[in-house]
Structure 1
Amino acid sequence: MQGHASDLVAMDIGGTHARFALARFTADGGIELDEPVTLKTSDYVSLQTAWEEFERRVEGPVPRRASLALAAPIQGETVRLTNNSWVIHIGALDTQLGLEKVTVLNDFAAVAHAVARAPEDQFLHLTGPDKPLPENGTVSVIGPGTGLGVAQFYRVDGTYHVQASEGGHANFAPVDHIEDELMKRLRHLHRRVSVERVVSGPGIVGIYETLASLEHRSVEKLDDRTIWERGLDRSDMLAVNAIERFCMALGSASGDFALTHGASAVVMAGGLGYRIRHVLHYAGFGERFRFKGRYEPLMASIPVKFITHPQPGLFGAAAAFQREHLSEKA
């Protein structure tokens, strides 16, 4: 058995986790997702072995149609994941996974599809005017995680077009003396310092160590998970300050992307963004977002929101499949 014709498997493959979920398209064009299966990519040598584990965990037939959101540029038949070792051969997915119809897209392009489709009650207001996303115009979509995801979509005349990007690999731009010191530190470690070296989950380590150095403090070597935990539970004030500094850098980067995209709104996504949503309100995120010289009035007019859908990558992957293969039925 191959599952109902309206079913598919949505996949969101990132640097740390691979998420799989059964998805269904309703008669009115809506999308329903089952509870996802989340696997650590480090526990599996390939997408194929992770897929086999997913199939073992699913009760009943697994659909032979799938949509894959991958944390990498989608160019050509071979996709190398940016922050894990998997290599995806798009042309071989039919034989490797037994699929009959496939959509493949960038992971943050999938999140942009989710943002474009989500109802207004699935957004939290962060900064700027508290108004809905524009019916016409460009929306930047940003998400710090294992890396920094960036995409955009353009709405016009009741439809939308998603544009993937690798904006997280743009150059990091220091704004003050602390970020100058952070840049110096990172230059000793990396041939080139991209914005995701700072504005991503692992980026908190460099921020934490830079703040310690500026205070001439000797601190134990900590991994990023520990720094985030200590900062969010406020058990380590240096970690608290590092998270606040992270929020400032995220505000600067988000404003830069909005200017570059000509955006009328910005939406943040991802688990890390959700964990720090309360910090963003007081840690200088909004001030840094607007701090663009002569363009401060323009930046102040842009709403910044957070999408609260629990699995925007999976939802967006299903939406992309629907647009590519079922547009006449959606």
Structure 2
Amino acid sequence: MSTSLVAVDIGGTHARFALAEIADDGAISLAEPITLKTSDFASLQTAWEEFERRCGCSVPRRAAIAIAGPVNGETVRMTNNSWVLHTGALDEQLGLDAVCVLNDFAAVAHAVARAPEDQLIHITGPQGPLPTLGTTSVVGPGTGLGVAHFHRFPGGYRVQATEGGHLDFAPLDAVDDAILARLRQQHRRVSTERVNSGPGIVEIYCALSALEKRPIDTPVEDRAIWERGLAREDSLATAAVERFCMSLGSVAGDYALAHGANAVVLAGGIGLRLREWLPRSGFGERFRFKGRYQQMMAGIPVKLIIHPQPGLFGAVAAFALDHSGEPQT
């Protein structure tokens, strides 16, 4: 028999809910998500009640909940909203019989591990499916920089969430030096997330404008730079997007080395927006530019997951893995 549950993906700005089904053969299906603004609700419990109201029916008593932030204790304080989640009491608070709680980017890694091949498109490196054994790094530029990895072994896989976005930013050329110098004026320590995330395009854009001695209007908004750059309506914004692709290639290669990975998958909203750009950009060259390991890096495939809701899909996959021995209803 199949298993019905609720999938939840909680970010700083939005919480997404969807009815989900795990078939008896393990296949996962998701209904159309319902998206709520976290700022409109006092807690997950009140948001859950709104989700139930919008569904207009009794929802399953099982849930898979992905949370933006470290999930390593009984209490999770959301970094970008006021919710405080007591992970050990969610079953009681929400009236659940079974619950799986995990980091949101760990959920994305589960999604990559379970995604069908047509949901993974080629960026650089060897063509073909992801390796059936070994480690895959998952890197996702969005509001921040998500990093996780999973290890495949005969008969299964295991996901490891990380806070890899907070590693130090490592410049490689004079432009990177200028970006770092600008950020150093604002922050004592500059993490790679300051550059390799959606808001990081502002720092790249401003550094390029200073190098060219171009005046720019302030304040500069990241959304406007992305829109103008991707549309090629502003040459400096376009150059910033191209530089972003290069920088993302560098850091993705660093994670592959650190994880001992034999594949890398990009995820996140920015990755999707760069779908057409990355294969033609300097991403691949920077990914391979690792000194004596350049030949090894050239043998690592890099792909992009294009699933529309990887957080929800991956949360359900994590639930299926955690509850694989339980009776299904």
- Superposed displacement of residue 46, structure 1: 2.8
Q: Does 1:145 align with 2:123?
A: no
Kindly indicate whether residue 304 of structure 2 is the aligned counterpart of residue 311 of structure 1: no
TM-score for both structures, normalised by structure 1:
0.95
Separation (CA, whole Å) in 1 of partners of 2:214 and 2:45: 47
Letter in 2 for 1:316: G
- Deviation larger for 20-29 or 251-260: 20-29
Q: CA deviation at 1:246?
A: 0.8
Q: Name 1:178's counterpart in structure 2.
A: 175
Q: CA deviation at 1:295?
A: 0.4
Q: 1:210 to 1:75 in 2, by over 3 A?
A: same
* Secondary structure in 1 matching 2:277: helix
Q: What are the equivalent positions in structure 2 for 1:1-330 lying under 5 Å apart? A: 6-220=3-217, 221-327=219-325
**3-state DSSP of counterpart to 2:152:** strand
User: Deviations 1:159-204 (Å, cap 9, x if unpaired)?
Assistant: 1111111111111111111111111111121232111111111111
Percent identity of paired positions between Structure 1 and Structure 2: 66
Q: Distance in 2 between matches of 1:29 and 1:282?
A: 37
TM-score by length of 2: 0.95
Residue deviations 1:93-139, cap 9 Å, x none?
Answer: 13332222111111111111111111212110000011211111000
Amino acid at match of 1:254: A
Unaligned runs of 5+ in 2: none
Letter in 1 for 2:256: A
Q: How many residues align?
A: 327
**Separation in structure 2 between the aligned mates of residue 284 and residue 116 of structure 1, nearest angstrom:** 27
- Residues 1:104 and 1:126: Cα distance change in structure 2 (over 3 Å): same
Structure 1 residues 42, 248: closer, same or farther in 2, change over 3 A? farther
Distance in 1, Cα, partners of 2:271 & 2:123: 11
Question: Which ranges of structure 1 fall in alignment gaps of 5 or more residues?
Answer: none
C-alpha distance in structure 1 between counterparts of 2:2 and 2:149, whole Å: 31
Residues 36-45 or 119-128, more deviating: 36-45
Give the Cα separation in 1 of the matches to 2:58 and 2:96.
13
Q: Is the CA contact (8 Å cut-off) linking 1:68 and 1:104 kept in structure 2?
A: yes
- Computed over aligned residues only, the root mean square deviation of the Cα atoms, in angstroms, reads 1.6
Instruction: Decide which moves more: 78-87 or 196-205.
Output: 78-87
Say which SS state the counterpart of residue 20 (structure 2) adopts.
strand
Identify which range, 18-27 or 38-47, moves more after superposition: 38-47
The one-letter code of the counterpart of 1:136 is L
Moved more, 227-236 or 130-139: 227-236
Give the partner amino acid of 1:286: G
Letter in 1 for 2:46: T
Q: Helix, strand or coil: the match of 1:201?
A: coil
